[in-house]
Amino acid sequence: MGRSYVKEIGQSLGKEVEVKGWVHKIHDLGRIAFVTLRDKTGLVQLVLDEKQKEGLRLEMALEVKGTVSENTKAVNGLEINVEQHKVVGEAHYDKLPFSVNRNEKTHLETQLNHRTISLRNPQIRAPFIIQEEIVTAFREYLRGEMFSEIHTPKIISSGTEGGSEMFTVKYFDSRAFLAQSPQFYKQMMVGAGFEKVFEIGHAYRSELHNTWRHLNEYVSLDVELGFIEDENDIMDLEESLLKHMIQHLNQKCKKELELLGVSLPEIQKIPRIELEEAREILLREYDKKSPAGNLDAEGEVLFSAYVKEKYNSEFVFLTRYPVSKRPVYTMPFEEEPSLTRSFDLIFKGLEITTGGQRIHNYDQLKENMLTFGLKPEDFDFYLETFRYGMPPHGGFAIGLERLTMKFCQLENIREATLLPRDMKRITP
C-alpha cells in the first residue's frame, strides 16, 4: 500500500490508507484519544484506543495505517480509525519551545531561534508555499516568453556599483566579494546571445541596518532583455508578469491565502508617474518633503495611499529618476540628460523593484564611468561585451522576500525567509 497524503484521503472513504506525519494535537478522552496528524498537505483526525495512544507525545513522527470514515465533527469531516501505527521519529524534549498547534503569537526572534519548530505551524509555513508559487509563476511566464534561466557567479572580483556595502571573501590568496546583484552578468548574457535572461539567485548586501524590510542575504528575481525600444518595454513586461503571478497564486494557493486571511490585489494598469511629480504631490497633498531626487520610506507609504485613492492601484511605477541617484549603467534621456530611463515599482508602500534601460553604446558607457569617477579598466570584463554589437536592453529585479511579505501581508521580511541573515543573525 502506497502512502496517501492527508489532502487525498477523502477519495478513500471506507478504505484502508497509510498516512505519515507528525502528532499535531492530542485530545485524550480516556478510553480513546483523538489525535490530529499533520503532514505536508494538511491535518486529519486519528482515532486511537487506550493501548494505541500510550506514550504518544506532541510532534512525534508517525506512520499510520487505518480506515477512513466520515465524522462531521472532525477537521475536513473525515477521520482515520487506526489499525496500526509506528513511531518513526521520537520525542527527546521536556517541553516544546512554543506551541505548534495554536496560532498564538510567539515573538519573531524566538520563532527564528527554533526555526524548524515554528515552521511546523501551517500558518507560519503558508508564506513559503506561496513563495514557491511566486517563483514558479515568475519562471513559467518568462520561459513562455523565450527567456533563458541563467546561473552566474556570486563570488566576484569587483562591485557593480563601486564596491560599497559588499561582503568580502578570502579567495585563496586574493580578496573577492559577494555579488550585490547579477547586474553586469545578466547584461553580458544578453550580449552573449541569450538575448532574454532571468536569474533566481542570492544577492548580498552588507548594509548596516536591521529593519523589518532589510535582509543581508536575499533572493533576487532578476530579468534582463535585449532588443527593446525603451524602458516602457521593461515596465510592460513587469506588469504582465505580475498579472500572471497574481492569477497563478489565486489558482494554486487558495488554501494558503485563506489561512493567512489575505487576498491579492487586482492589477488593471499600473500608473507610471514621474518621480518629480510624485515629490510635488507629496508636498502639496501631505505637506511631506522628500529627499533630493528620491522618496523616503514614509514618502513611499504616503504616495502609495495617494495612488490607491486616485487610481485604485496597489502598485505604482515611479519613473525618470535623476542620474545622480542611479548606477553608472543607467540610460539617460537624450533630450534631458539629467534624468534616466529608469523606474522603481512601489507596492503597498514598499519598493519591490528597481529597473530601467541600460546604456548599450560602448563609448557612452566608458564616458559615463569616467564621469562617475570609476576606472573603465577595472571593468574591462564587462565593457568588452559592449564592443561587439550590444543591442538596446534593460531589465529589473524583484526582491523575492519583499514581494512575498507584501502578498502575504506579513509585518517583517524575516517571516518570508526560511533562515534569515541579518546583522545579528547567522544561525540557525
Q: Which H helix or E strand runs over 274?
A: strand 272-274
Q: Whose Cβ is closer to its own copies: residue 44's or residue 390's?
A: 390
Q: How much is the CA Rg of the chain, to the nearest whole Å?
A: 26
Asked if 135 is part of the footprint of its own copies (rule: CB under 8 A), the reply reads yes
Binder among 116, 164, 284, 287 for its own copies (CB under 8 A): 116
* 72 C-beta neighbours (distance < 10 Å), count: 6
3-state DSSP of 219-265? EEEEEEEECCCCHHHHHHHHHHHHHHHHHHHHHHCHHHHHHHCCCCC
Binder among 4, 216, 290, 313 for its own copies (CB under 8 A): 216
SS3 10: helix
Displacement of CA 129 from its chain's centroid (Å): 11
Give the interface segment with its own copies, choosing from 36-44, 247-255, 283-291, 349-357 (CB under 8 A).
36-44
Site residues (CB under 8 A) for its own copies, limited to 272-331: none
Asked if 198 is part of the footprint of its own copies (rule: CB under 8 A), the reply reads no
Site residues (CB under 8 A) for its own copies, limited to 328-367: 360-363
Give the interface segment with its own copies, choosing from 73-81, 212-220, 248-256, 339-347 (CB under 8 A).
212-220
Asked if 212 is part of the footprint of its own copies (rule: CB under 8 A), the reply reads no
342-347: strand order across its sheet: 148-149, 196-204, 217-226, 393-399, 350-358, 342-347, 315-319, 272-274
Asked if 164 is part of the footprint of its own copies (rule: CB under 8 A), the reply reads no
Site residues (CB under 8 A) for its own copies, limited to 364-393: 381-382, 384-392
Which residue from 148, 198, 146, 204 is spatially nearest to 178, judged by alpha carbons?
Answer: 204
Q: Is 182 exposed, middle or buried (0-12, 13-18, 19+ CB in 10 A)?
A: buried
Q: Whose Cβ is closer to its own copies: residue 188's or residue 235's?
A: 188
Binding characters for its own copies, 389-418, by CB under 8 A (x = yes): xxxx-------x-----------------x
Please indicate if the annotation marks 38 as binding a ligand. no
What's the rounded Cα separation, in Å, for the pair 388 and 370? 21
Please indicate if the annotation marks 425 as binding a ligand. no
Asked if 231 is part of the footprint of its own copies (rule: CB under 8 A), the reply reads no
Asked if 35 is part of the footprint of its own copies (rule: CB under 8 A), the reply reads no
Q: Angle CA(191)–CA(192)–CA(198) in degrees, nearest 5?
A: 80
Q: Whose Cβ is closer to its own copies: residue 171's or residue 212's?
A: 171
Binder among 68, 189, 234, 245 for its own copies (CB under 8 A): 189
What's the rounded Cα separation, in Å, for the pair 218 and 348? 20
- Provide the minimum distance between the beta carbon of 318 and its own copies in the complex, in angstroms, as a whole number: 28
Phi and psi of 178, rounded to 5°?
A: -95, 135
Q: Is the Cβ–Cβ distance between 226 and 195 less than 8 Å? A: yes
Q: Whose Cβ is closer to its own copies: residue 185's or residue 396's?
A: 185
Asked if 109 is part of the footprint of its own copies (rule: CB under 8 A), the reply reads no
- C-alpha cell of 392? 538596446
Give the interface segment with its own copies, choosing from 25-33, 169-177, 274-282, 338-346 (CB under 8 A).
169-177
Binder among 109, 132, 336, 367 for its own copies (CB under 8 A): 132
Count the residues in the chain: 428
- Provide the minimum distance between the beta carbon of 291 and its own copies in the complex, in angstroms, as a whole number: 26
Size of the site for its own copies (CB under 8 A): 95
Please indicate if the annotation marks 399 as binding a ligand. yes
Asked if 186 is part of the footprint of its own copies (rule: CB under 8 A), the reply reads no
Could you give the angle at which helices 275-286 and 297-311 cross, rounded to 10 degrees? 90
Residue 22: CA count within 13 A, CB half-sphere: 17
12-23 in b/e burial notation, b at 16+ Cβ within 10 A? eeeeebebbbbb
Binding characters for its own copies, 2-21, by CB under 8 A (x = yes): -x-x--------------x-
Please indicate if the annotation marks 205 as binding a ligand. yes
Q: Whose Cβ is closer to its own copies: residue 157's or residue 250's?
A: 157
Site residues (CB under 8 A) for its own copies, limited to 50-69: 59-61, 63
Binder among 26, 32, 75, 91 for its own copies (CB under 8 A): 91
Please indicate if the annotation marks 280 as binding a ligand. no
Binding site for L-aspartate: residue ranges? 161, 205, 354, 358
Binding site: residue ranges? 161, 205-207, 213-215, 351, 354, 358, 399-402
